Structure 1
Amino acid sequence: MKQLLLFLFLSFTCVTFSQNTVADLKVQGNKKLKSGFVKKISNIKPGVALDSAIIESDIKLLKRLPSIAHAYYQVFPTEKENEYNVFYNIEENFTIIPSANVYTTNNDEFAYRLGLYEFNLFGQNIAFGGFYQKDIYDSYAINFRAPYLFSRQLGLAVNYQNLTTLEPVFFESNTADYRYNNNSLEVLGLYQFNFTNRIEAGVNIFSEDYKYVSGATSNVVPLSLDVDKILYKLIYEYNNLNYDYQYVEGFRSVFNFQYVHSRAGDRKKFPDFLIGWNDFMYFKRVGQRGNWASRFHIGTATNDETPFAPFAVDNNKNLRGVGNLIDRGTAALVLNTEYRQTLYEKGWFVLQGNAFIDAGTWRNPGGDYGDFTDSQNMRLFPGAGLRFIHKKIFNAIFRIDYGVGLTKNASRGFVFGIGQYF
Structure 2
Amino acid sequence: MTAPTQVPVPTRSSAELIRAEEPVLAHNYHPLPVVVARAEGTWVEDVEGRRYLDMLAGYSALNFGHRHPALIDAAHRQLDRLTLTSRAFHHDKLAEFAERLAELTGLDMVLPMNTGAEAVESGIKVARKWAYEVKGVPADRATIVVAAENFHGRTTTIVSFSTDETARQGFGPFTPGFRIVPYNDLAALEAAVDETTAAVLLEPIQGEAGVVVPDAGYLAGVRELTRRKGCLFIADEIQSGLGRTGRTLAVEHESVVPDVLLLGKALGGGIVPVSAVVARRDVLAVLRPGEHGSTFGGNPLAAAVGTAVVELLETGEYQRRATELGVVLRGGLDRLVGKGVTGFRARGLWAGVDIDPVIGTGREIGERLMREGVLVKDTHGSTIRLAPPLTITADELESALGALEKVLA
TM-score by length of 1: 0.25
Q: Which protein, 1 or 2, shows the higher relative CO under an 8 Å CA cutoff with sep ≥ 6?
A: 2
Q: Choose between structure 1 and 2: higher strand proportion.
A: 1
